[in-house]
Amino acid sequence: MNTNILAPTAIVTSAAAQQQVKYNTKEIQEMDSAHYLHPFTDFKDLASRGARVMVKGEGIYLWDSEGKRVLDGMSGLWCVNVGYGRKRISDAVYAQMQQLPFYNSFFNTTNIPAVELAKTLVEIAPAQFNHVFFTGSGSEGNDTNIRMVRRYWDLLGYKDRHVIISRHNAYHGSTMAGASLGGMSGMHEQGGLPIPGIEHIGQPYYLEGGKGMTPEEFGLKAASWLEDKILEVGPDKVAAFIGEPVQGAGGVIIPPSTYWPEIQRICDKYGILLIADEVICGFGRLGYWFGSERFGIRPDLMTFAKGVTSGYIPLGGVMVGDRVAKVLIEKGGDFNHGFTYSGHPVACAAALENIRIIREEKLVDQVREETGPYLKQQFEALADHPLVGMAEACGFVAGLVLVKEKGATIFDAVSFPEDVGVGMVCRGHMFNNGMIMRAVGDRMIIAPPLVMTRAQIDEMVALIRFCLDQTLADLKQRGCL
Ligand SMILES: *Cc1c(COP(=O)(O)O)cnc(C)c1O
């Protein structure tokens, strides 16, 4: 085991990064809290502590305005799949901006990058997908899904078939419809959500609901909640089921192997459309172009965003399977939906170059065959740490559970009381030592850039272990252990 990590990467400074900054950190923080309302943030709390200012990215690393280097275990926000600093993407964007910075696709017009990207996406997606609808983000993609599945059933004459079933602790974005599809109670509380016609079932989180069962038994049980809900709502009222292949923002919830095939069977049985939200799982994250392939399901629609451009420029959309596309096209009539930036030529140019990089560097194969299995092995070995109840990985997402006391099985482990906020304590130590790892309750999660090498995986896992040690010492000192 690599225990000789004495110097956290945080102390690796970069003069080059500092030179980029025309203000000192304090000035930026003051302007920031004076004027900038951040997403998903307690504004008052942030103003009291000051934001960390990121000024440069290269490969898997970021530098802040103090010149400190950070290993980005989250790929920005699950999106920088090809890593930072890819000149090829910025060149492609620059060239497209000079050629044609914008034109819309509304009034029987199109543009070349959008067409090329649609063709490319169809090439990399499973065979049932031959059409794409572009949006500006993942949330807008999921809004599009709602509009599209309801339109589909309307066109077929099933005007009552409008209910969409999703899951608790799902994340499908933050627009009114995206947040409604999502199952985050904190989001539903603000804004009178969910909107009508959306139902939620339990998530396939083994640790939450699987006590006394094998993971496989629990997977079937969690899937059966879909059938229960369909029967409760009425099969003639249900339009679609939506789920992330692996839940991301919910805490990297990796479902048991039996779950998705059973969900597919139930959707087929009742003729319900299956929507895979691939915003995180797509573009190689799980070692396949789309996470659905990893779990052997055949969705009718797939939401994408994030990794499609590696986050360099905002872009999202929906892959529309033949079953739905055929009806929308053949029945005719306007689909009264779309965005100013649907098929934005610059965003599409960024996506095309990003996908070229993923293909040329064989990043999908690399994650599936080589670095994904290695990450799994190294990350899951963290389970021997006194604070770690369990650790699991799937492709390039991974999560571990912080526990106060281990038990004979994970179900017997003792959790920290909620007021300790153990995840946030741990995240603080990670952040201070140059490692970005996200906390979701007592789960600590990562989703590193797909370009990460074996040596960098070693470096990351050693750094995580170092920070876990610091967290342990801190918790002891506070009397929490
Ligand atoms: C991030 C995310 C979204 C929302 O995407 P935005 O681009 O932030 O609107 C939707 N679904 C999933 C699974 C996501 O992770």
**Per-residue confidence (pLDDT) for residue 170, from 0 to 100:** 98
* Domains of the chain and CATH, by start: 52-82+363-477 (3.90.1150.10), 88-360 (3.40.640.10)
Distance in Å, CA 244 to ligand 1 centroid: 10
| Protein residue with its CA nearest to atom 11 in ligand 1 | 172
The pairing of strands 163-167 and 443-446 is unpaired
| Cα end-to-end span (Å), the chain | 26
**How far, in Å, CA of 68 to CA of 405, rounded?**
34
Using CB distances shorter than 6 Å, the residues near ligand 1 are 78, 137-139, 142, 171-173, 244, 248-249, 277, 279-280, 305-306, 316
**Atom of ligand 1 at shortest range from CA of 142:** 10
**Per-residue confidence (pLDDT) for residue 18, from 0 to 100:** 55
153: nearest Cα among 94, 88, 75, 237: 237
Distances (CA, A) of 250 to 170, 183, 204, 254, 355: 6, 9, 11, 10, 27
**Per-residue confidence (pLDDT) for residue 22, from 0 to 100:** 76
Distance in Å, CA 247 to ligand 1 centroid: 11
- Under 8 Å between Cβ of 444 and 426: yes
Residue ranges, the chain, pLDDT below 70:
1-21
Query: Does 299 sit behind a cis peptide bond, omega within 30 degrees of 0 on the bond before it?
Result: no
Residues sharing a CB contact under 8 Å with residue 370, sequence separation 6 or more, in sequence order: 454
Residues sharing a CB contact under 8 Å with residue 211, sequence separation 6 or more, in sequence order: 411
SS (H, E, C) 28-97: HHHHHHHHCCCCCCCHHHHHHHCCCCEEEEEECEEEECCCEEEEECCHHHHCCCCCECCHHHHHHHHHHH
User: pLDDT of 396-411, one tens digit each?
Assistant: 999 999 999 999 999 9
Distance in Å, CA 171 to ligand 1 centroid: 7
Distance in Å, CA 205 to ligand 1 centroid: 20
Mutation test residue for ligand 1: of 139, 169, 247, the one with most atoms within 8 Å of CB: 139
> CA-based Rg of the chain, rounded to a whole angstrom?
23
**Atom of ligand 1 at shortest range from CA of 280:** 15
Distance in Å, CA 8 to ligand 1 centroid: 32
Q: Say what the pTM is.
A: 0.96
- Under 8 Å between Cβ of 222 and 254: no
**Per-residue confidence (pLDDT) for residue 14, from 0 to 100:** 60
- Under 8 Å between Cβ of 164 and 129: no
- Under 8 Å between Cβ of 137 and 173: yes
